[in-house]
Structure 1
Amino acid sequence: MKTISFIIPVYNQEKQIKKVFETLHNARGRLSRAVTFSEIIFVDDGSEDHTFARISDTARDYPKMITTIISYKKTRGLKKAVALGKKASNANWNIVLNSDLSDLEEKLEKIAARVRRERKKPKKPLVSVVMPVYNAEKYIDAAIQSIMNQTYKNFELIIVDDQSTDKSLKIIKSYKRRYRTKIKIIRSAKNLNRGGDMCANLGIEVARGKYIARMDADDIAAPGRLATQVEFLERNPRVFLVGSNAYVINEKGKVVGEKIEPSKPADIYKSYATFHPIIHPSTMLRRIYHGKRFAYQIEYSANNDYYTFFKLICRGYIFVNLKEKLLFYRIHDKNDTFVKTKEKFLNTVKIRLLMVEKYNYKLNVRDVITSIVQAALILVLPESAIKYLYLVTKGIIQPKKITIPFFGRTISISSV
């Protein structure tokens, strides 16, 4: 469904405003069913009469016609007025009309012709981008903007706020005002405090897309991310989930490393024996697969993405990681990965053993030894050291000598 905005530059036309509203109100019924009327945008180009007041007063008589007024004191000319109107629009199509609507019939016919052309084009599948948010005021602006800047335009952005106490919700609402038809806001009834997956399920419940794209509120999507992943899934109907590699950025957005994961399904399957080979916020998956609607299975206080994906891959679902870096993955102290670090890493070992027991996942001797060493390190090392070792072993940062507290003493860990 396409949305349409009528942009009307006006200058000293207070007497014509009522007729303009009446005419456009009647014209709405003549629009194709494939087009939804979004708004009228009046750009008052420095009128010296009461044009602005007349627009404002008349708009109250037509509450179902969303009206935006842009006004400034000095005349800037038609070209500038049109540009400002288009900038303010959230619609798919912007139709610029003469102030007396003398070109309305011509423009309506052009809309109808455009609809006919659009119907002949192959339809691109809708993508539901689901973004859980909790106290992300420092980064959420860049995260949302990266989705709105996607080259692939057939998407909806579902933002689930988990009772943020900072300015996150205010920022989200400012984007909602700009992109009314693109953004949907959900707010949890209470703080779920179970990681982003439970919040993501709230978004997935209302998602309409063929595909679900996960996005975190502190990361940045590359402009071609959605387009690349949709194209891949359309060409590979047996693949359930596609992820990608990522650039690693710091709090200031500077690239400080890379996150590279195995790309082939067999390698991803094997890698689950020792680590999580999927960059979660880079994933896109099929909302409905083999007749079943996807949802995260919430069994743990954390690691539910690891549990859900591991379980699916054990059941034969095919996962692929693209070699392209389609995400800028942000590392900072409040990363979900580094909250309750010990608990999360211990959960990965527990989940691994559960998959061996219930789904006959095969561990070789090396995998068993690795799991034992991982569990031992998690139990004895402080969280700062666990975080460091994780970043080094994943290749996110280069090894270096660090000093950490350990059972009341100070020890050093060096690169090897």
Structure 2
Amino acid sequence: MSRQLPEQLSLLLPVWAGDDPDHLGEAFRSTVTEQTRPPDQVVIVRDGPVPEALAQRLKELVAESPVPVDLVELDRNVGLGMALDAGLARCRHDVVARMDADDISVPHRFAVQVPIIEAGADIVGSGLLEFDEHSEDIVGTRTPPTRPEDIRTRARVASPFNHPTVVYRRSMVRGVGGYTDFALMEDYLLWAKMILAGAKVANVAEPLVKYRVGAGAYARRGGWRQLRAELALQRRLRRLRFTTRGQCLRNVAVRGGYRLVPERIRRIAYRMVIATYRR
């Protein structure tokens, strides 16, 4: 019996003007040069113009990378969803890993996740560790559901994947229309579309990514803009028949209310419910 050859991997990494050059360098090293199973291609999407220091760091990474790097330079800032769709169009391999420009991957991340895709999954995420300024200053843990039935159940009330940790099939993502321009909730909507399309889902409980929380993290999770995005998402999920009427009403009340409570209370609720979720 012939052995199946390992699949090749594309890394998809968006960058925008607000990213820190040093954080980008650390993210790149952790996800490319320090991986025990490194990607075979890196696609960096520059989402609009960036400051000179960041532009210089991008040039350095492209020139010094041990694997081929495709730099997609968008003329204007189009937002995360559309930037990722532009990057997916340039990925040469069907297995694609996501990474953000200020996070850190553990060295064996892809050695754990890619074999799960090769075994038949269409998407696999992982747990993550939240840190403040330094990567060893851990302030929270997000452990996702791991059983497929629990992932699908969780998806009706909250995102079942930690977006910066996922590895997925490009063909499946593009087959359901990609991320599209759905600001602030593009990843959650994509997971719902993939589940509706019959995607084989998986999560690894082990934290394979360290996620930089940074200043203003809790403020960004609230406010009227987030509430409008939340309501738009819940309407879309209901139209897709992804949620029942009862689930939709529950989500509007709970998730919508979370967007409007004072930041101090939102911080406590996040730490008690979201950043410690286990199943």
1:171 maps onto 2:44 in alignment: no
The match for 2:213 is: 331
1:309 maps onto 2:191 in alignment: yes
1:186 maps onto 2:72 in alignment: yes
**Change beyond 3 A, Cα 1:314–1:122:** closer
Secondary structure of 1:262 counterpart: coil
1:160 maps onto 2:38 in alignment: no
Tell me, which stretches of 5 or more residues in structure 2 are unaligned?
Answer: none
- CA deviations 1:370-414 (Å, max 9, x no partner) are 5313323434x34564355334421359xxxxxxxxxxxxxxxxx
Deviation at 1:361, TM superposition (A): 2.6
Secondary structure of 1:167 counterpart: helix
- Assess if the C-alpha contact under 8 Å between 1:244 and 1:325 holds in 2: yes
The match for 1:133 is: 15
Deviation at 1:159, TM superposition (A): 1.0
Secondary structure of 2:89 counterpart: helix
**Change beyond 3 A, Cα 1:245–1:377:** closer
Letter in 1 for 2:62: K
Letter in 1 for 2:89: E
Deviation at 1:352, TM superposition (A): 2.7
- Assess if the C-alpha contact under 8 Å between 1:248 and 1:331 holds in 2: yes
Letter in 1 for 2:88: I
Deviation at 1:167, TM superposition (A): 2.0
Cα distance between partner residues in 2 of 1:178 and 1:266 = 43
The match for 2:201 is: 319
- Assess if the C-alpha contact under 8 Å between 1:288 and 1:294 holds in 2: no
Superposition pairs of residues 174-323 of structure 1, within 5 angstroms:
174-179=60-65, 181-192=67-78, 194=79, 196-235=80-119, 237=120, 239-253=121-135, 254-289=137-172, 292=175, 295-298=178-181, 300-323=182-205
The match for 2:266 is: 386
The higher relative CO (CA closer than 8 Å, separation ≥ 6) is in 2
Cα distance between partner residues in 1 of 2:245 and 2:108 = 37
Letter in 2 for 1:188: L
Cα distance between partner residues in 1 of 2:105 and 2:118 = 20
Tell me, which stretches of 5 or more residues in structure 1 are unaligned?
Answer: 1-119, 398-416
- Assess if the C-alpha contact under 8 Å between 2:218 and 2:267 holds in 1: no
Deviation at 1:240, TM superposition (A): 1.4
Secondary structure of 1:328 counterpart: strand
Deviation at 1:124, TM superposition (A): 2.4
Cα distance between partner residues in 1 of 2:27 and 2:91 = 19
Letter in 2 for 1:199: A
Cα distance between partner residues in 2 of 1:200 and 1:290 = 11
Letter in 2 for 1:152: R
- Assess if the C-alpha contact under 8 Å between 1:249 and 1:329 holds in 2: yes
1:347 maps onto 2:229 in alignment: yes
Deviation at 1:259, TM superposition (A): 1.0
Q: Greater Rg, structure 1 or structure 2?
A: 1
Superposition pairs of residues 109-120 of structure 1, within 5 angstroms:
none
The match for 1:149 is: 34
- CA deviations 1:33-60 (Å, max 9, x no partner) are xxxxxxxxxxxxxxxxxxxxxxxxxxxx
- TM, length-normalised to structure 2: 0.85
The match for 1:362 is: 244
The match for 1:96 is: none
- TM, length-normalised to structure 1: 0.59
Q: Between Structure 1 and Structure 2, how many residues are aligned? A: 271
- Assess if the C-alpha contact under 8 Å between 2:219 and 2:263 holds in 1: no
Superposition pairs of residues 34-183 of structure 1, within 5 angstroms:
123-134=5-16, 135-137=18-20, 138-147=22-31, 148-162=33-47, 163-165=49-51, 167-179=53-65, 181-183=67-69
Deviation at 1:354, TM superposition (A): 2.7
- Assess if the C-alpha contact under 8 Å between 1:125 and 1:154 holds in 2: no
Deviation at 1:242, TM superposition (A): 0.5
Letter in 2 for 1:282: T
**Change beyond 3 A, Cα 1:335–1:183:** farther
